Amino acid sequence: MDDYGPDAFSAEYGVSRETMDRLLAYDDVLVDWCARMNLVAKSTIESRWNRHFRDSAQLFDLLPTDTRTVLDLGSGAGFPGLVLAAMGAPSRLHVTLIESTGKKTAFLTAAAKAMDIDVSIHTERIEKARLSSPPDVISARALAPLPKLLGYAAAHGGAGTTFIFPKGQDVGSELTDASRCWNMNIDVRPSRTNPEAQILILRDVRRKSP
């Protein structure tokens, strides 16, 4: 769907004009900064509304209805964190972004300012970050294989935290590997953007006893 753009996105997700203005402001900053640094693969710039915006936005519909806080791990170019923040702004959803690379957090700060949204941005390694309380949801996109990703996320989650992770075609083997060390309730949803990809919704995640 290389011809998928803002109009198609707006029609698919039914977002308000204000939300689209935020996302378009984000897009402007993204394109500008991508000319100077590697935020997303150059091969995906032209198809970014499908490959990145749409791929991130599909997670918003999967958030539990009472979600008030989201923690996005390894935020990089802001997907899905900034997209979730824009779509959740009318309901006062608060998103925290953790990214260890200073240049990327500078981009995230510039994008959030252009979008006029209130997000928390941490420039530090995930394992060193300290949050005041567990978030309702933890998201991460293209960060790490599931066993390692669960280690990152579990350190910040609480008993009621839901983990939402888009995964590619290797999701089956990643779940098998993760199940050796982790107990969890698993819900798998198809991806709208890639027929070979799926989205994991994990609840009651806890490490198995040795």
Report phi then psi at 147, rounded to 5: -55, -45
Is residue 187, in this structure, part of any structural domain at all? yes
Structure tokens of 130?
């300290």
The mean pLDDT of 185-201, rounded to a whole number, is 94
pLDDT band (50, 70, 90) for residue 3: confident
Domain count, the chain: 1
- Does residue 1 lie in a domain region? no
Residue 13 lies in a domain: yes
CATH of residue 40's domain is 3.40.50.150
In a domain, 29, yes or no: yes
Q: What pLDDT does residue 91 have?
A: 95
Cβ atoms < 10 Å from Cβ of 47: 16
In this predicted structure, what is the pLDDT of residue 209? 84
The owner of tokens 């091969």 is 43
Q: Residues 52-79: what's their mean pLDDT? A: 97
Inside any domain, residue 173: yes
User: What's the pTM?
Assistant: 0.95
Section 58-63 average pLDDT: 97
Q: Which two tokens stand for residue 200?
A: 């994991």
Domain extent for 147: 6-207
- What's the whole-number mean pLDDT along residues 116-139? 95
Once rounded to an integer, what is the mean pLDDT over residues 112-132?
A: 94
Task: Determine the pLDDT at residue 1.
Answer: 54
Confidence of residue 16 (pLDDT cuts 50, 70, 90): very high
> For 172-199, what is the mean pLDDT?
94
pLDDT greater than 90 at residue 198: yes
Phi-psi map region of 76: left, alpha, beta (phi>0 left; psi -120 to 50 alpha): left
- For 83-111, how does the pLDDT look when each residue is reduced to its tens digit (9 = 90+)? 999 999 999 999 999 999 999 999 999 99
